[in-house]
Structure 1
Amino acid sequence: MSLDSIARATFPEGHVVFFGIDGKIILTPQSYEHSSTIKSMQYDTVVSLGRHAKTPSDVYIDFPADENSAPDLAILREDARREGKRHTFEDVLLISEVVSVSSARKDYDDCTAKYGRYGIPVYLIVDPYAAEAVLHTEPTGNGYGTSRVHSYGTGKLPIPLADGRTFVLDLDELPLPEADSGR
């Protein structure tokens, strides 16, 4: 797709458009609930891990076989270094995806299988519509060996990271959708 055709293209309302250096165009739905949930998790990373912790949001991470991802939130090893312009999946300690209207199947099924297959130690699905966080640990070749559901409003959830640090997700502070927002 040429720059001229991109400039003239119309993209669906309510979506953020990412243009990858590899030529991919990714449309990501953007909602208030999605954005607020990511912001809340980012705040928790600062409180838990410090201001300068490596916690990218919506930033490409290289995976093998051209399965690159830009997760809603990632927590990287403290000594992680970019290879070229990106970090690799080997730097990742935790990935979190926030469920949105169009991403539920991908977040619950596709990403669980993918992140487990590549050995991401912790995969956290945060679902504002179900008011729960699903914590996956013990990666396997096709997913995770352990999954635990934690409801919003049940306090602070300590999540041990493979490097000895602990990320604490405050389940009391995660935003809920407004009554008329729908999925």
Structure 2
Amino acid sequence: MTVMAERPTTNRTEVNSFEDLLDTLDELDVPDGYKAEIIRGNIIVSPWSKAYYLDVMELVCEQLRPYLPEEHRISFGPFLYVFPGVERAYGPDIHVARRSVSRSTSTHMDGEALAFVAELTSSSTRDDDLTDKVEMYGRAGVPVYLLLDMQEEQATVLWTPSAKGYGSRITRPFGEKLPIPAPFDCLLDTAGFQAP
């Protein structure tokens, strides 16, 4: 399901800015089992992940936790990070951010606090994870983006963010070790990331 930008808000004003989209998103009654993000000027509602994705997310968190930058935490779950400069709001599957970003009552967190994001593709999100998010996370300056392509069973790490996206990338099939660059400087073992 997609909520288009032309859709009126609850007070019957036109949605014509990123802030209007955020307000509409806050008022949206998202069905159980779904999450909502702002992608390319639209509110996109997509289903939550398959059950085995939880194991993969926990494996990533367990392996990266010892290498976190000081005053950062790694989490997975439904938190919305806002990137006003690129007019996007994403709920990454896994995120590493400064601890201070969560000291707020807002439902939106500052995307500039992120040091790392990971997305696990699904049939409904794969295109956005491989295109829009690669470009926008890089343009927003997120230092490391880990893309776990669950359909192709391969992991790609992207780093060196710039105005054009990311300048560096490495891809490995699931089962191999993938180097995760600074500020982590570690190897991620992707054994066990395959579907059961």
Quick check: 1:63 aligned with 2:80? no
Quick check: 1:44 aligned with 2:63? yes
TM-score by length of structure 1 reads 0.72
User: Which residues in structure 2 correspond to 1:30-179 (within 5 Å)?
Assistant: 30-49=49-68, 53-58=72-77, 59-64=79-84, 66-77=87-98, 80-82=100-102, 84=104, 85=106, 86-155=108-177, 157-162=178-183, 165-166=184-185, 168-174=187-193, 176-178=194-196
How far the C-alpha of 1:19 sits from its partner, in A, is 6.7
Mark the CA change 1:60 to 1:167 in structure 2 (over 3 Å): closer, same or farther. farther
Q: Determine helix, strand or coil for the equivalent of 1:146.
A: strand
Identity percentage over the alignment? 21
Task: Provide the C-alpha distance between the structure 2 equivalents of 1:61 and 1:41, rounded to a whole number of angstroms.
Answer: 20
Aligned length in residues: 161
Task: Provide the C-alpha distance between the structure 2 equivalents of 1:159 and 1:19, rounded to a whole number of angstroms.
Answer: 28
Instruction: Pick the structure with more strand per residue.
Output: 2
Structure 2 residue runs without a partner (length 5+): 1-8, 11-27, 38-42
How far the C-alpha of 1:36 sits from its partner, in A, is 2.6
Q: Determine helix, strand or coil for the equivalent of 1:107.
A: helix
Task: Provide the C-alpha distance between the structure 2 equivalents of 1:25 and 1:154, rounded to a whole number of angstroms.
Answer: 33
Task: Provide the C-alpha distance between the structure 2 equivalents of 1:29 and 1:81, rounded to a whole number of angstroms.
Answer: 24
- Larger RCO of the pair (alpha carbons < 8 Å, separation 6+): 1
2:195 is matched by which residue type in structure 1?
Answer: P
CA contact (8 A) 1:95 1:120 kept: yes
CA contact (8 A) 1:63 1:89 kept: yes
